[in-house]
Structure 1
Amino acid sequence: MKLLFCIEADWEGSAKKQSSILPMLQCISGIYPSKIKYIFRTANTTAEFKYCLKKFKQISKTNDDFCGLFICGHGKPGVIHLGDDSLSIEQLAEISTEIGEKLYSGHLIHFDSCSIIKGTKSQIKKFIKLTGASCVTGFEDEVDFIESLALEMIFIDCLSDNNNASDAVEKFLKEHKSICNRTKFKVIDMSHSLPSP
């Protein structure tokens, strides 16, 4: 993986609370400064999210490598929340194709959101077909914030060791079955070649 691009919505309604994936990104990048490169953006409206995707388009050109796009925020089956706005997987695909044809071609999309991929396999396969994503990962149920961050640190490390998204995910699933099962971490791709944890 050449780059991790993270778009995060607010996790808390209160301005005093500051839950974020950013400290985890800073930690893993600090441990492996030459290996883990990331860009972090926030988006709490659909307009802000579109702006972030335009930035992703600028840096996502591949040379035998892929980017990981992490979309972070509260979710429910088939929907991610961006502050007071919400986007369904279908709307996300529509926005993505407006910004660029096959915007995610060869890239990995990870939803850091509770339950977003629960019962949405057909919608996500359509999303993959429309956007060109290599695969989509996420959580099938409610997940503890700290547990999800622990999984994602290991996941990012695994992704950074590979220039093929599917190979990296397959290795991760094989080597980390226990935490994948515990957090209900799932992978959806078009080929059915990736094993279940």
Structure 2
Amino acid sequence: MPGQPSTDPLVPHAFIASLPNILTGVRLVLVPVFLVLLFVGDGHETFWRIVAFAVFSVAVITDRFDGALARSYGVVSEFGALADPIADKALIGSALIGLSMLGDLPWWITGVILLREIGITILRFMVLRHGVIPASRGGKLKTLVQAVAIGLFVLPLHNWPGIWLTVAWVIMWAAVVLTIVTGADYVVSAIRNSRGRSAGN
């Protein structure tokens, strides 16, 4: 009857199937919002840096949720496998560039991380015809550590006890190491996958 909720079991399933992609889209929308907040005033106003951190955290949380939903309900798609890491890189990349522009993070760290992320994204498209290579556990850990490290640098650490800045640097160094190691691992996996598909043809 009109006005009655649908009892069709396909309706909630269809919504759940599209939810991971919706969350990915939300994360992309939050990127410019985060950047605007990061640069409010002189870029070092305590209140706005905390607000920027909150938006950054929400964006990171959507990444945790969309991946978990996709795996739990078996709705992993090629679009999600490609769009999700692109959304991650847009968020992480914009945050790194913003922090370097503000003088809070050395440009060489931003360069190393972005070079790896852009290179792997290009490689994903190059090997697409051989099938999508999903993110490894190491890659997921790398993304998490990067997010934590960047989140700490987004916070107004200059107004807090020095121990927090030390913690932020320790985690950032761990992120740089994981970035390099997982990047090399992905290249090796892509080469093996490409050779394996070629041998099977």
TM interval, shorter chain, is: under 0.3
Structure with higher RCO (Cα < 8 A, 6+ apart):
2
Higher share of residues assigned helix: 2
- Larger Cα Rg: Structure 1 or Structure 2? 2
Structure 2 length as normaliser, TM-score?
Answer: 0.25
Could you say which structure has the higher strand fraction?
1
* TM-score between both structures, scaled by the size of structure 1: 0.25
